Structure 1
Amino acid sequence: MATTRPATVEVDTTMRFVATDFTTVNVRASMRYDADDPYAIHVMFHPGNPDAEQVSWSFARELLAAGLVEPTGMGDVRVWPWSTPRGDAIALALSSPDGNALFEVSRSLVSRFLRRSYALVPKGKEGDSLDMDATVAKLLADR
């Protein structure tokens, strides 16, 4: 019996929202990588209030990887190494017309998440897992 390899990597975590005075608030979140969307990672923020909507951000997997070692990104998403009394982390800054938010995320958790994503789709092989014919057919069918 053949076993199929999972097509996604998802980790649940707690990120720390960093306020302007550098106080922090824990926020439940998850990071997801899907081999069907090989260039992107998705971060979902789960509200404490069950009636509130989940907030989701998508950005390049390579942006997250580069941010482990140096400041990277411009505009809506920026990532950089961040040291805290709790240990090494990365800073994840998100900007939208509705406002800005800065989060602290465990560097080791992000590293493990990225390693697992590279096990699904190796770095530099993202285009190999795209079915361009199916994508074009879907785009044309949606017209």
Structure 2
Amino acid sequence: MHTVVERELELELVLSPECSIPVAALLSYRPDDPYAVHVTFHTGTDHPVNWTFARELLVEGVFRPCGHGDVRVWPTKVAGRGVVLMALSSPDGDALLQAPAAQVSAWLERTLVAVPPGTEFGRLGIDDGLAELLAPTPADDLWLGDPWLPDDFTDGE
């Protein structure tokens, strides 16, 4: 059984140092996709905005600046409280989001309990998938036989 670890949060979309607007978000972690975290932003439209990035990036970003390119994460303080900032860039635009550090950290801790660091690879099912893919089937006997030899042919007799 795969337990999905979810947390609804209210983030702040930072428009300027003086202005931000609340954005409802859902943090989601699935053990069958063990390296990724999923964030769904509910922007008040019929189509939520989904982002997926490395769990390790968010874990590290709670403690120190990390990431480059499309996703950057870093901790800071705003009005005396700890927050995690996430800078997201896409061809459609850029966003700076602020999340409560304590809530993000508590959710991340639950994901780390569900799938401890270093055990993610075992959750991918690669060995099972390869075994299934490479398992012989009855049809393999047809392909492995020599089509030019009669069925009653015996070698060396």
TM-score exceeds 0.5: yes
2:52 to 44, 58, 62: 58
Q: Could you tell me how far apart the structure 2 residues matched to 1:70 and 1:36 are?
A: 27
Shift of 1:129: 1.2
Counterpart in the other structure of 1:84: 78
The code of the aligned residue for 2:10 comes to T
Give yes or no for the alignment of 1:13 onto 2:24: no
The code of the aligned residue for 1:37 comes to D
Paired residue secondary structure (1:29) = strand
1:125 to 91, 108, 119: 119
Query: Which structure has the greater CA radius of gyration?
Result: 2
Q: Could you tell me how far apart the structure 2 residues matched to 1:74 and 1:22 are?
A: 25
Q: Deviations 1:54-75 (Å, cap 9, x if unpaired)?
A: 1000000000010011110000
Give yes or no for the alignment of 1:108 onto 2:106: no
Q: Note the residue ranges of structure 2 that are not aligned, 5 or more in a row.
A: 134-157
Q: Deviations 1:13-56 (Å, cap 9, x if unpaired)?
A: 1000001344110001010000000000000001224xx20100
TM-score normalised by length of structure 1: 0.85
**CA root-mean-square deviation:** 1.8
Per the alignment, do residues 85 and 36 of structure 1 end up closer, same or farther by CA in structure 2, a change over 3 Å counting?
same
Q: Note the residue ranges of structure 1 that are not aligned, 5 or more in a row.
A: 139-143
1:26 to 19, 22, 26: 22
Q: Could you tell me how far apart the structure 2 residues matched to 1:59 and 1:135 are?
A: 24
Contact 1:30 1:45 in 2 (8 A): yes
Contact 1:7 1:36 in 2 (8 A): no
Task: Flag as ranges the 4+ runs of structure 1 deviating above 6 A.
Answer: none
* Bigger relative CO (Cα 8 Å, ≥ 6 apart): 1
Overall identity of the aligned pairs, in %: 40
TM-score normalised by length of structure 2: 0.78
Shift of 1:128: 1.4
